[in-house]
Chain A
Amino acid sequence: MSTTDRPPLAHRAYEGDAVVNNSTDPVARAFIRGDADALRSVYERHGSLVHTLCARTVGGETAADVTQEVFLAAWKSRGNYDPTRGSLAGWLVGIARFKVISHLRKSGRIPQPTDILLEIAADTSHVDLIADQLLIRAAMNELPMRMRDVVTLAFFNDLTHDQIATKTGLPIGTVKSDIRRGLLRLRAIMEANDDGF
């Protein structure tokens, strides 16, 4: 997803809480400053998220090696993380996606991108899908409860807006608003993933 021609999410004038802004997260701030204790907090918070992506893609004992590479790379490039652009989880998953694809290429499980045709042929969609799944899962947990319920009913239970309104007792306008704002939050996290590191 390209982010060109668009201002950073935090600068957009759309509903007040419709963007993800992690700049007030003390762990994120400490991480950027280079506080090693903050790195441990980040690992405890997101280690399973990163490791799940690695385990579901490269698998086996290699997953632990790649997980370690992700956190070492994150630490080394921590200055590149911009909390106004998305969540730390999304940024870490972006790094993990890069590392996983790199490992799969080195091991011959997907082609090396030696030219444009091979780049197209190199199917990384399964990695992208798993990354999206994990990010959405993490993002859903950060939504306010009502918004999370509405988005869950819309996306995961596949209910119509009227059905959601009936089931929750919310006005139809609130249902639509919650879906929109929830989607914006989810999108912000996914864009941080796309940006990588």
Chain B
Amino acid sequence: MTDSDERLLAAARGISNDSVGTPDEQAFEHAVLRIGNAARSGLAHESLIAPPKDLWQSIALAIDSPMHDAVPETHSAQDHRVRDEAPPQSENVVPIGQHRRPFAKKYAALLIAASLIAVTAAGILTLRRGDTNDTVIERAVLKPLGTNADGEVALIRHNGRLELRVNAKLPPRPGHYYELWLANRKVSGLVSLGPLEPGRLYNLPPGMQLNRFPLVDVSIEAEDGNPLHSSKSVLRGDLGDTLRTA
């Protein structure tokens, strides 16, 4: 105990000597020592470090998931659900964290993930750009969410069908893979478009109302067989109002 600690304790005892030696006072003295130790270390004067700009969006996406209220839910084979919204008949939509991929698709995802790891092991994953004769309807920047990554997404019309093409630079993460999702404005519902693969065109589900799911989300998923959204998004972009007329 330093002289300063002794002085501070003396000041404290000077107010109420009755409590000296009691468990409460002993705890108080301990607090004085902790405060004095922390204060003398000097770091309390340093500036706080702000979190990454987009971290809140990532938190909000996860918070909006019923998963975080621990509400168990039974899923149908198709998992047609959006929380707080009428279930559309033609959209594979589920709240974040409650998505289930079909069994065979899950293993396909693991195989794809393995190929992704092979690619990312070389350094940076780059998804190829599309053909020049595709009609680009809309582009959006994919902004990083607390990670060193960037990319863009394009909504294109290819042979009469709407497709998404993603160009992204993502850091390699052994034992993990990246997955592409569409999300609604409230980020309370997601549609999985599958694992992110180099050069892949992502066909949009027929009849899907894209204006309801304009956010493009890339999550990082562990190779643990868990089909739920990991709640860890690394990129997100907004295709915006253009989708309403697409």
A residues with CB within 8 A of B = 1-3, 5-6, 12, 14, 36, 39-40, 43-44, 47-52, 55-56, 61, 63-65, 67-68, 71-72, 75-76, 129-130, 132-134, 136-137, 140, 154-156, 158, 160-161, 175-177, 179-180, 183-184, 186-187, 190-191
Q: A158: which B residues are within 8 A, CB to CB?
A: 4, 40
What is the size category of the interface that chain B forms with chain A?
35 or more
Contact flag A133-B38 (CB < 8 Å), given A5-B23, A51-B49, A161-B11: yes
A92 to B177, CA, bound (A): 31
**B59 interfacial by beta-carbon distance below 8 Å:** yes
Is the beta-carbon distance between A55 and B4 smaller than 8 angstroms?
no
A155 to B38, CA, bound (A): 9
Is the beta-carbon distance between B59 and A187 smaller than 8 angstroms?
no
Q: A133: which B residues are within 8 A, CB to CB?
A: 38-39, 41, 43-44
Is the beta-carbon distance between A156 and B39 smaller than 8 angstroms?
yes
Contact flag A52-B23 (CB < 8 Å), given A39-B63, A190-B31: no
Contact flag A190-B232 (CB < 8 Å), given A47-B55, A180-B11: no
Is the beta-carbon distance between B43 and A40 smaller than 8 angstroms?
no
Q: A156: which B residues are within 8 A, CB to CB?
A: 39, 44-45
Q: B21: which A residues are within 8 A, CB to CB?
A: none
8 residue pairs, one from A and one from B, having the closest CB atoms: A64-B146, A187-B31, A132-B38, A51-B51, A48-B48, A155-B39, A176-B11, A52-B49
Interface centre among A12, A50, A67 (most CB of B within 10 A): A67
A-B contact count (CB 8 A): 144
Contact with A along B53-66 (1 / 0, CB 8 A): 00110111011100
Q: B59: which A residues are within 8 A, CB to CB?
A: 43, 68, 71-72
Of A14, A36, A49, A180, the residue contacting B63 (CB under 8 A) is A36
Q: A133-B41, A158-B40 are in contact. List 11 more A-B contacts (CB 8 A).
A: A47-B51, A51-B51, A61-B147, A64-B147, A72-B231, A132-B34, A133-B44, A136-B39, A155-B39, A184-B28, A186-B31
